[in-house]
Structure 1
Amino acid sequence: MKLRYLLVLALTLSSDLAAQVNAIPPMRHILVYGEAQARAIPDRFKISVNFEAIDMNADAARRRVEENVQQVLGRLKAAGVADGEIVATSMEMGARERYDDRKGEQVFVGTGVKRTVVARFDSQASLKTFLADLRTSKELNVSSVDTELADEAELRKALREKAIESSREKAETIAKAYGARLGGLYSVSDVAPQFQYGVREGSWPSTYEWGRFQDTDGYTLDKVQVTGSRMKRANLESFQTGYVTFTDKIYTVFLLAD
């Protein structure tokens, strides 16, 4: 039975390797990737507020957490946050201990009670209004503030279309330069293949970047510049207003016509 299992496993690995090899056709082909980038100014801000109290009296810890939660919920509503944009976790309660160096053992210090409130603001001004009156402590603290884009799904869809267009344009330009013509489409993926001839993701020479604009028909992406290195999506931890870079990449293998 064990031998049969090993044989099945070996066959599975062999088929996976064969599929990887077959990702590159044996006939004449051209492999390109299309990449599109768009810069957008975040228009939504998500904040996470944590609450925790520790007390020998479990109910006292619970009351302090609930008082802080209700205080923050009131401030969120005063800042104009809609009820549907506020999510509060259920209460967590458990024993808390600390290590005593003198005794060399864990010592019980009380019962801990925890909750978290996550809220989304539709403007930076309302977030600042909320933070201006928020008094933090070891029992009430802000763990993170993330920036978001309300219509990110539509933007990413437009980026995918532009990345596909970019891959086709690249392939046609390269084929023409070598006196060849594109044939049929062999494969397409948004996951980088393992190229047998030594090229690895990250060694490509340039990135195509588009600015983000909106017209009456929705999103249009117009080429802005070509840069000499790959650009990564900007860190979204800061809630300061500024551009955030979104990227989409597609890998395509075209056959060359005779």
Structure 2
Amino acid sequence: MKLLHALLLSSTLAMVAPNVWAQANTVPSEPHLLVKGSATRTVMPDRFSVEVGLESIDMQTDVARGRVQGNVERVLKLFAEHGAIESSVRADNLSIKPSTRYRNDEEVFNGTSASRELKAEFADAAALQAFLRDLKASREVQVTTAEPTYSGEGKLRAELKAEAAAQTRASATGLAGAYGAKITGLYSISDVAPSFAYGVQAGTWPKHPDDGDRFASGDASALDRIGVTGSRYRATAPGELLTAAPITYTENVYAIFLIKDGS
């Protein structure tokens, strides 16, 4: 078993950068295994957000304020008519400030600017599209849409981390067993990818259907990527969102397990 001990030790010991493992852990001097667990889930977005900026400028402050307030009421009414999620509707406080412009390189008073911003989210793209069709944009009513999101992202990420962590233990158990070794304890676990000099680059180890990447090393930034992918298609009018593609979330976990010869 001395040969096994030497093999495992030489295969797993490495130097580690000071900032690896969130600057909290170092590589143990004992024989160990470094394994990576990864979990991925693809979901459809269920939150489609829109922001409406309202601004009116007039020499009379009350006139500017009145026009903004009128637009606020119209936008809020459209939010309700098209099923905006009630808890997502936000209306900033009214802002009033002087407005100026340049004329012949001289700054001149342009009137009083009154402005507010409204935000809301819709549960599907069709509802947002219907809202955009009914909202008349103008110099005083500016509309912007944002990247679609998934409302259960936080819970989903926690589930993926748990799956990835379980995968590291299964991977380490299988690998140690193949060498006749035993796992004696967990030394470190993190979602930050290490950058160990094992002599291979990230991604060069073969994938196993039920296994994580073993001895993951190389470019830390490449490994430590919590992936969120997806795409969206927009209409010809700037900001109008028509539909959205699925979003893929990926969580990675890296663990160091202490081992010993099975004899």
TM-score above 0.5, yes or no: yes
Which blocks of at least 5 consecutive residues in structure 2 are unaligned? 1-17, 214-221, 234-240
2:54 is aligned with 1:51: yes
Write the distance in 2 (CA, Å) between the matches of 1:147 and 1:206. 34
- The CA RMSD over aligned residues, in Å, is 3.5
Write the distance in 2 (CA, Å) between the matches of 1:142 and 1:61. 19
Displacement of 1:23 in angstroms is: 2.3
Match of 2:133 in 1: 132
Q: What letter matches 2:202 in structure 1?
A: S
Match of 2:228 in 1: 233
Q: How does 1:51-130 map to 2 (within 5 A)?
A: 51-100=54-103, 102-103=104-105, 105-130=106-131
2:258 is aligned with 1:255: yes
* SS of the residue 1:150 aligns to: coil
Over the matched positions of the two proteins, sequence identity in percent amounts to 34
Structure that is richer in strand per residue? 1
Question: Given the superposition, is the C-alpha separation of residues 21 and 60 from structure 1 closer, same or farther in structure 2, using an over 3 Å criterion?
Answer: closer
Displacement of 1:130 in angstroms is: 1.1
Match of 2:146 in 1: 145
Match of 2:29 in 1: 26
Displacement of 1:85 in angstroms is: 3.1
Displacement of 1:189 in angstroms is: 1.7
Write the distance in 1 (CA, Å) between the matches of 2:83 and 2:102. 44
Q: Residue by residue, what CA displacement relative to the aligned partner does 1:59-116 show, whole Å, maximum 9, x if unpaired?
A: 222112111111111111111235433111111122233344x32x443322222211
Displacement of 1:162 in angstroms is: 1.1
Q: Is the 8 A contact 1:144 1:237 kept in 2?
A: no
Which blocks of at least 5 consecutive residues in structure 1 are unaligned? 1-14, 209-221
Write the distance in 1 (CA, Å) between the matches of 2:61 and 2:85. 32
Write the distance in 2 (CA, Å) between the matches of 1:86 and 1:127. 13
Write the distance in 2 (CA, Å) between the matches of 1:21 and 1:85. 39
Write the distance in 1 (CA, Å) between the matches of 2:55 and 2:107. 20
2:37 is aligned with 1:38: no
Write the distance in 2 (CA, Å) between the matches of 1:32 and 1:169. 10
Aligned length: 223
Write the distance in 2 (CA, Å) between the matches of 1:120 and 1:206. 43
TM-score by length of 2: 0.71
Q: Residue by residue, what CA displacement relative to the aligned partner does 1:1-28 show, whole Å, maximum 9, x if unpaired?
A: xxxxxxxxxxxxxx989x9484211221
Write the distance in 2 (CA, Å) between the matches of 1:139 and 1:253. 58
Write the distance in 1 (CA, Å) between the matches of 2:27 and 2:147. 40
Write the distance in 1 (CA, Å) between the matches of 2:165 and 2:59. 61
Displacement of 1:38 in angstroms is: 0.6
Write the distance in 1 (CA, Å) between the matches of 2:31 and 2:249. 34
Write the distance in 1 (CA, Å) between the matches of 2:44 and 2:28. 42
